[in-house]
Structure 1
Amino acid sequence: MRHLYAPAFFFGFIGLALYLVDEGVSLLCLPALLPLAILLAFLAERLWPYRAGWNGSHDDGPRDLAHALVNETLNALAIAAIPVLVAWLPHFELWPVHWPLALQLLAALLIADLGITLVHYASHRSPLLWRLHAVHHSVARLYGFNGLMKHPLHQMLEALGGTLPLLLLGIPVEVAALLAFAIAVQLLLQHSNVDMRIGALRHVFAWAPLHRLHHLKYGTAGDVNFALFFSFWDRLLGTALYLPDYALAEDDLGIGDRPDYPVAYLDQLAEPFRHIDSAHPPAPLPMELRRLLVE
């Protein structure tokens, strides 16, 4: 099951969503599928945990729920606004509407993933963007649900980077809705606490064994594996990292020089706009991780 979990979860839920939409079922079926995906992710994390301690509460459950509800509501509103946006924005009607729905979704995934990845990469280079993105990196544990934990302003910037090219091409609403659902499924897998084994699939998909390294709290050690869906973008950026011999400790995550980062939801929304009077020293890099990074 550790080998089958990620591909079965990814292709199972996205395949089911594609089938339902292709059969003419209302797009409202997609938000109805998401709680099922979250429930199965929670169950798998308890059956095959990567770190058992990450399954326990860190007083972050209500906060993560608030982030998820706000951000998914914003996603739903953005999808509903697509006809208005397409009418308002200049668009070139180049979208291949004659393609099968699955191929249209694949094209949307590739285009959106490149845009989102570049915004993510820039968020680790620009101090202004980092202040917004730091909300996501403040997590002290990884479990599927906190993949939806983002500052809403940063989520909107990532969404703009990923969807503006699609809107200019004239993407249909149903493809955009499937894309939003696929992103939610992927975030559940990227941040999963399941001890999944993905083997050669790591060369294609940016699932948890790669993305966990992005959340390392040791300075720039986590400036790797930026891609949302496809790991080959990181190879092109020169930021790909895979450390099969390093087992993350339960306290390897977070922001090393901000151990006091606020935990409460409203405090996290306000934190990017506060002046920080003092900074903590960076968290020291563990010797084993230092050795592997040098090698």
Structure 2
Amino acid sequence: MDTTTRTRSPIRTLVRYGYAPFLFLGLNGVGVALAAAGAPKYLLLIVLAVAIAASFAAERALPYDSAWNGAHPDTVRDRVHVVVNEGLTLLGVAAIPLLAAIVPAPGLWPDDWPFVCQVAAAVLVADLGITVTHLLSHKIDPLWRFHAVHHSITRFYGFNGLMKHPLHQTIETTVAVTPLILIGLPVDVAAALALAVAIQLLLQHSNVDYRVGPAKYVLALNEGHRFHHLKWAGIGDVNFGLFTLIWDHLFHTYSYDPHRRFTSEDLGMAAKPDYPVGYLDQLAYPFTTAGNCSSPDTTAS
């Protein structure tokens, strides 16, 4: 079977145009419905497991770069990052009732809105907080040294999104969610938001050659996010948004070239080509003298 036939096969066509809507609208929709009904939180973990399985299946059916599939030295490490960082997210959701008891909300949360609108509002507020923190993490050296763990990747696939230093994830999450908690974020909305973040990270770093049409100029998906991971100094300082590119357009940090193709040679950090690969090494490296790497804006290309 030649390349043209394979490209036009029904399964590949379904993945190309159906994968993103299935995760972004379908599974998030299931998550919102479950959270709105007050369903047990473990059901949301099952939805996430379905999203992960769908992501890995799609990466094999329609890869952007087939070389990014299969066994790699980072495979075990990335799974540890996923378990640790998702565990931190679950702890954060579980801690919301305690935080609410310590810091009573002023009753500003719009709990009379339809549940889906409450989740959408939480997503937009969190997106702003994450985008600003992400941008500052490229400008401020103490933040960059922890964020650099994420930029050490040299391939794109689903689990890259949670390949973060847990301290940086904690900072990013705190900035994103604190304003919501202060105005009374309900636990069920927080759970739906946490699922949406995990699904978005899968979509944003997925090794799937999917299409979303003009929405790629508004939604922060893998086509645009690859530009963020360009390894040369200053060039990757674009497309910081997690859910949307709205703030990037406003901050003038948006960039996209539909003709650009990426390989592993384009990704990573030019200034740190030998960045540690092991999980424990990556946890410790930002605290070392060698880990005091300058942010992209101050590193020569």
TM-score when normalising by structure 1: 0.92
Aligned counterpart in structure 1 of residue 283 of structure 2, from 253, 269, 281: 269
Q: How does 1:168-207 map to 2 (within 5 A)?
A: 168-207=182-221
2:136 — aligned with what? 122
2:10 — aligned with what? none
1:88 — aligned with what? 102
Q: Which amino acid aligns with 1:269?
A: L
User: In the TM superposition, what is the alpha-carbon distance from 1:56 to its structure 2 partner?
Assistant: 2.7
CA distance 1:265–1:3, shift in 2 (3 Å): same
**How big is each residue's C-alpha offset from its partner over 1:111-138, in whole Å with a ceiling of 9 and x where there is no partner?**
0110011000000000000000000110
Q: How does 1:6-17 map to 2 (within 5 A)?
A: 6-17=20-31
Q: Using the alignment, how far apart are the partners of 2:240 and 2:104 within structure 1?
A: 30
User: Is there any run of 5+ residues in structure 2 with no aligned partner, and where?
Assistant: 1-13
1:218 — aligned with what? 232
User: In the TM superposition, what is the alpha-carbon distance from 1:89 to its structure 2 partner?
Assistant: 2.2
2:71 — aligned with what? 57
User: In the TM superposition, what is the alpha-carbon distance from 1:153 to its structure 2 partner?
Assistant: 0.4
User: In the TM superposition, what is the alpha-carbon distance from 1:100 to its structure 2 partner?
Assistant: 1.0
2:264 aligns to what SS in structure 1?
Answer: coil
Q: Using the alignment, how far apart are the partners of 1:17 and 1:156 within structure 2?
A: 23
Deviant stretches of 4+, over 3 Å: 277-280
**How big is each residue's C-alpha offset from its partner over 1:47-105, in whole Å with a ceiling of 9 and x where there is no partner?**
00001111132211110011010111111111111011112125321001111110000
CA distance 1:279–1:269, shift in 2 (3 Å): closer
Q: Using the alignment, how far apart are the partners of 2:214 and 2:291 within structure 1?
A: 46
Farther off after superposition, 263-272 or 9-18: 9-18
Aligned counterpart in structure 1 of residue 258 of structure 2, from 244, 250, 258: 244
Q: How does 1:68-87 map to 2 (within 5 A)?
A: 68-87=82-101
Q: Using the alignment, how far apart are the partners of 1:36 and 1:158 within structure 2?
A: 26
Q: Using the alignment, how far apart are the partners of 1:201 and 1:96 within structure 2?
A: 28
Identity %: 51
User: In the TM superposition, what is the alpha-carbon distance from 1:283 to its structure 2 partner?
Assistant: 8.9
Q: Which amino acid aligns with 1:122?
A: L
Q: Are the equivalent residues in 1 in contact too, given 2:145–2:292 (CA < 8 A)?
A: no
Q: Using the alignment, how far apart are the partners of 2:38 and 2:264 within structure 1?
A: 45
2:118 — aligned with what? 104
User: In the TM superposition, what is the alpha-carbon distance from 1:21 to its structure 2 partner?
Assistant: 2.2
User: Is there any run of 5+ residues in structure 1 with no aligned partner, and where?
Assistant: 285-295
What number of residue pairs does the alignment pair up? Answer: 283
Q: Are the equivalent residues in 2 in contact too, given 1:143–1:193 (CA < 8 A)?
A: yes
Q: Are the equivalent residues in 2 in contact too, given 1:5–1:196 (CA < 8 A)?
A: yes
Aligned-residue CA RMSD (Å):
1.7
Q: Which amino acid aligns with 2:69?
A: N
Q: Which amino acid aligns with 2:95?
A: A
